[in-house]
Amino acid sequence: MKVQPRPPMSPPPAGVRRSAVAGALAATVALAVTNLVDALSGSVPSLVAVVGQAVIRNTPGFLSRGATESVGTADKPLLLALIIVIALAVGARVGVAARRRRVVGDVVFVAFGLFAVGCAASLENVPAGGALVSAVLAAAAGAVTLRRLLTAADPVTPPAERPAPADPVTPPADQVPAADQVPAADEPHAEPGSEPEADAPVGPTAWPGQHTVSRRRFLVAGSTAAGGAAVVLAGAWGLRRGLGAPAPQASVTLPAARDASAAVGQATRGFAEVDGLSPLITPNKDFYRIDEALTVPRVNLDTWRLRVTGMVDGPFELSYDDLLALPLVERHITLSCVSNEVGGPLVGTARWLGVRLADLLTRAGVQPGATQLVGRSVDGFTVGFPIEAATDGRDAMVAVGMNGEPLPGGHGFPARLVVPGLYGYVSATKWLKEIELTTFEAFDAYWIERNWARRAPVKVQSRIDVPKNYGRVAAGERTVAGVAWAPHRGVGRVEVRVDQGPWQEAALGPELGADAWRQWSLPWDATPGEHVITTRATTGDGEVQTATRHSPFPDGATGQHQVNVRVSATG
């Protein structure tokens, strides 16, 4: 049996294409409106962000882990982009469906608004009333825009009055076509090779220029909708960039620490001159950010309170001014994300200013039997770690400052937890609102519910910053340099090996304390060819960084960092 080839697919009729474009534009207008509400309110996230945050909170742990491993810190922008693409695609389909029945568009936009309000209701930091207002405005803008665009895309109604056709003239007998050549009464007359427009009526109701006028009218209406959406989005962007109310941090003046950290001073001379080496102190703008917040929560300092609750003799709460009035300490502390691969960038050191957790717990009076300290964020995120990590002498704190400034919004303003020696997923609550004393049996924090390890001490690690992996250098005297960290235990030694040669001890940079990383460097006589450079660190209490490779899940990556370098004879 001979299989007939499938005929080529023809493009959709012009009317369908215009309806799809109308739906996508209407969805764009709705998204622009909710972005503007977000920028104007300062407390109501856009509906896209609300839906995205709900997706994050309800995603199973293995999917969250897979996303992080696949795209790293780009997971949130990609999620937002995916939601927007889906919204526009759905809008296009709705536009086609509403071509014949306008009410379809109204129903779908209202349904999206209700869905977003439902997502907002599941999030702790989204005002229900504000989300409802945003949804109503977005749904109304989308539905009205779709109706107007579909009306503009409709065929133009012919003029009510047209000139009467001229009296027919009977042709000579020899010009009368044969009967089988006369088109049927219901068939339009067309020039050879031409097709009637799909969205324009044919036959006696058509009139000259009708399709051209309809297309022009739709182009004008569509351009107006697109331009309006662009203006609204630009306005929202401008408000977020500072045209609106200033960030609350701008009004904060941090008091001086009663117990200040050691000054960096001139101790970094020599190490600071190594091009490409990580600075001893990571600038705020370069400090890694890993959290579950799709958008940075906005905290009102006038109403914000930090509560200490749970298994304590005297629960209490503090305003922001109360917190700043307590004795403050300042310490250099290295934080590392549990998702950081060996040699990865998700680690940094800052000068943190805050109140010791131990002082707060002493004031509250921890009851016998309490084993876990739970930190709760304004957006509902939770961490949990052993109470001993706050009382064993390490500088665990409720931080209010970072590198001499109030906490940036993305790093937890107005207050966050900083616990040396623990990975952030069990300790580093940003936008902190509550410290609860409880037991491990009574509560599982956010990532524990997703099967990450309950106890997560930071593993000793070292990283080669110079030379870069797969980099090229010229033969001769070169420098191998990097950083090493083992918070709460300190770094006692760093060693470097070239190819399979002996381990060589590197020179260590200044020590800012056992909780901060240390720079290191080693001179290297680079010879032409391919080389593999490996590093390992030893903690202050003698633990040597293992060579066994292990992925970050469930309690942090292990292994020794290596870089491959090609050395050329001439440079």
Taking residues 20-44, report their average pLDDT. Answer: 91
What pLDDT does 158 receive? 60
Give the whole-angstrom CA distance, residue 554 versus residue 530.
35
Q: Work out the angle at residue 59's Cα, subtended by the Cα atoms of residues 56 and 61, and round it to the nearest 5 degrees.
A: 115
Token digits for 68?
């992080």
For residues 55 and 104, state if they share a domain. Answer: yes
What pLDDT does 332 receive? 96
Token match 């091009």: residue?
275
Bond preceding residue 414 cis, omega within 30 of 0? yes
For residues 67 and 116, state if they share a domain. Answer: yes
For 302-335, the pLDDT digits (tens) are 999 999 999 999 999 999 999 999 999 999 999 9
Token digits for 224?
């107006």
For residues 490 and 428, state if they share a domain. Answer: no
For residues 230 and 365, state if they share a domain. Answer: no
Helix (H) / strand (E) containing 497? strand 491-498
For residues 21 and 95, state if they share a domain. Answer: yes
What pLDDT does 216 receive? 87
Residue 411 per-residue DSSP state: G
What pLDDT does 423 receive? 97
Tell how far CA 134 is from the center of its chain.
Answer: 21
For residues 396 and 495, state if they share a domain. Answer: no
Task: Say if 206 falls within a structural domain.
Answer: no
Token match 């940094």: residue?
348
For 445-496, the pLDDT digits (tens) are 999 999 999 999 999 999 999 999 999 999 999 999 999 999 999 999 999 9
Task: Say if 250 falls within a structural domain.
Answer: no
Helix (H) / strand (E) containing 551? none
Task: Say if 531 falls within a structural domain.
Answer: yes
Amino acid at 447: W
For residues 100 and 225, state if they share a domain. Answer: yes
Domain tally, the chain: 3
Task: Say if 426 falls within a structural domain.
Answer: yes
Say if residues 480 and 473 touch (Cβ distance below 8 Å). no
Least confident of 158-172, 230-244, 499-513, 539-553: 158-172
Task: Say if 366 falls within a structural domain.
Answer: yes
Q: Domain limits at 518?
A: 461-568
For residues 230 and 110, state if they share a domain. Answer: yes
Task: Say if 176 falls within a structural domain.
Answer: no
Instruction: Give helix 75-97 / helix 128-153 axis angle, nearest 10°.
Output: 50
For residues 136 and 22, state if they share a domain. Answer: yes
Position 213 confidence tier, pLDDT thresholds 50, 70, 90: low
202 vs 131, 154, 184, 196, 423, CA distance in Å?
48, 14, 14, 7, 71
Least confident of 144-148, 197-201, 557-561: 197-201
Task: Say if 272 falls within a structural domain.
Answer: no
Token digits for 557?
């990556």
Task: Say if 68 falls within a structural domain.
Answer: yes
Least confident of 147-156, 252-261, 445-454: 147-156
For residues 125 and 70, state if they share a domain. Answer: yes
For residues 400 and 495, state if they share a domain. Answer: no
Give the whole-angstrom CA distance, residue 197 versus residue 209.
12
Predicted TM-score (pTM) of the model is: 0.81
CATH value at residue 404: 3.90.420.10
Amino acid at 76: K
Percent of the chain with pLDDT over 70: 84
Least confident of 40-54, 102-116, 139-153, 499-513: 40-54
CATH value at residue 474: 2.60.40.650
142 vs 34, 36, 246, 475, 484, CA distance in Å?
11, 14, 31, 64, 54
Q: Which of 407, 438, 469 is a domain's end point?
A: 438
For residues 407 and 291, state if they share a domain. Answer: yes
